Amino acid sequence: MRQYTITGGLRYITTEIEGGRQVLSLAVDCIADYIIWHEVMHAIGFEHEHQRPDRDNFIRVEYSNVQIGQLVNFEKLAAYEVDYNDVYDYKSIMHYDSFAFGRRDSKTNVRLATMFPLKV
């Protein structure tokens, strides 16, 4: 794995296949331990915990609070894509936080929650 630093203040994260190898790019403002581990997990094949096909048993997604164009981040995946044969992990590094991609309330400018746990 090679590390590249992208300057210019852009918030940019991507993983892609280039010439048979996985390239992980992180902008300077994205270089935090949990972000790096999250992206490395993607690079080795893990998907988001909150996109498991059984996630509706564990969380409720409030679609009306999701930013325009970001619903893809809450789509459920097929079982074969995320079957780790494990319990649902609310605290997984692969689980977005409750306010991920939340739009801002028009009156208060407060970010709205997009996911609510059903049980903890």
Give the CATH number for residue 59.
Answer: 3.40.390.10
pLDDT score at 9: 40
Q: Let me know if 19 is exposed, middle or buried by CB neighbors in 10 A (0-12, 13-18, 19+).
A: exposed
Selection from 81, 92, 90, 77 nearest residue 117 by Cα: 90
Q: Which residues are annotated as a binding site for Zn(2+)?
A: 38, 42, 48
* Same domain? 59 vs 41: no
Question: Is this prediction's pTM over 0.85?
Answer: no
* Domain of 8, in residue numbers: 1-45
* Same domain? 69 vs 35: no
- List 16, 39, 75, 81, catalytic entry: 39
81 labelled catalytic: no
Q: How many domains does the chain have?
A: 2
Q: Are 96 and 111 in contact (CB under 8 A)?
A: no
Q: Which residues are annotated as a binding site?
A: 38, 42, 48
* Same domain? 58 vs 115: yes
* Same domain? 64 vs 38: no
Tell me whether strands 13-18 and 21-27 are parallel, antiparallel or unpaired. antiparallel
For 76-97, write each residue's pLDDT tens digit.
Answer: 999 988 877 889 999 999 999 9
* Same domain? 25 vs 6: yes
* Same domain? 23 vs 77: no
* Same domain? 115 vs 58: yes
pLDDT band at 107 (very low <50, low <70, confident <90, very high): very high
* Same domain? 120 vs 85: yes
